[in-house]
């Protein structure tokens, strides 16, 4: 059973309020979108059942109104152990990113939010199947970028070793 968007928002707010200075409403909305997308792409289904709309400034989970207060008086979110484990990992990954990196990832022109806005217009619902597909493509992009980075690092390392050991690497 999926968690409620409000509980996911409380969980994310607790973490990112301390990780990012000036944590705001659209920061929370972008993180909700990313959490939902990565949950779908990992094959776990929807993280929360509430819809996400294609607002002009950011994807919006309309059921989460305003910025949640971060003080200790907030209740502990009601999440399944599996969802809490996923969100722990999500917060670890995105906690080291800054809001600009998160915004760039969310604002991708080939992402579900932008495609929905382009095709369906302002306020159209971002379909979970589209989110799953575009986030899986993002995983492939990330894997390819990582492969290219490793390849360039290996070439650089070989060149460094070749320059330091003229006898072993000289041509015949």
The contacts of residue 94 (CB under 8 Å, 6+ apart) are 16, 31, 34, 102
**What are the tens digits of pLDDT across the range 110-157?**
999 999 999 999 999 999 999 999 999 888 766 556 566 677 777 777
Tell me which DSSP letter residue 60 carries. E
The pLDDT of residue 55: 94
Average pLDDT value over all residues in the chain: 85
Parse the chain into domains and list their residue ranges: 5-147
pLDDT at 170 over 60: no
Alpha-carbon Rg for the chain, nearest whole angstrom, is: 20
- Upper half-sphere CA count for residue 10 (Cβ side, 13 Å): 15
The contacts of residue 103 (CB under 8 Å, 6+ apart) are 30
- The torsion angles phi and psi of 60, rounded to 5 degrees, stand at -125, 130
pLDDT at 166 over 70: no
**What are the tens digits of pLDDT across the range 55-74?**
999 999 999 986 655 555 45
Strand partners, 61: 52
43-to-12, 84, 127 alpha-carbon distances in Å = 21, 16, 15
């Amino acid at each position: 059973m999926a968690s409620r968007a409000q509980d996911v928002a409380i969980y994310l707010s607790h973490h990112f309020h301390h990780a990012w200075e000036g944590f705001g409403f659209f920061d929370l909305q972008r993180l909700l979108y990313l959490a939902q997308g990565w949950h779908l792409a990992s094959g776990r289904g929807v993280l929360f059942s509430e819809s996400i709309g294609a607002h002009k400034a950011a994807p919006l989970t309309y059921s989460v109104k305003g910025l949640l207060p971060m003080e200790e008086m907030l209740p502990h979110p009601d999440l399944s152990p599996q969802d809490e484990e996923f969100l722990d990992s999500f917060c670890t990954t995105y906690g080291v990113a800054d809001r600009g990196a998160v915004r760039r990832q969310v604002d991708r022109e080939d992402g579900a939010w932008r495609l929905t806005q382009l095709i369906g217009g302002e306020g159209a619902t971002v379909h979970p199947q589209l989110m799953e597909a575009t986030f899986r493509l993002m995983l492939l992009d990330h894997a390819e970028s990582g492969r290219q980075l490793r390849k360039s690092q290996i070439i650089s390392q070989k060149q460094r070793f070749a320059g330091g050991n003229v006898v072993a690497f000289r041509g015949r």
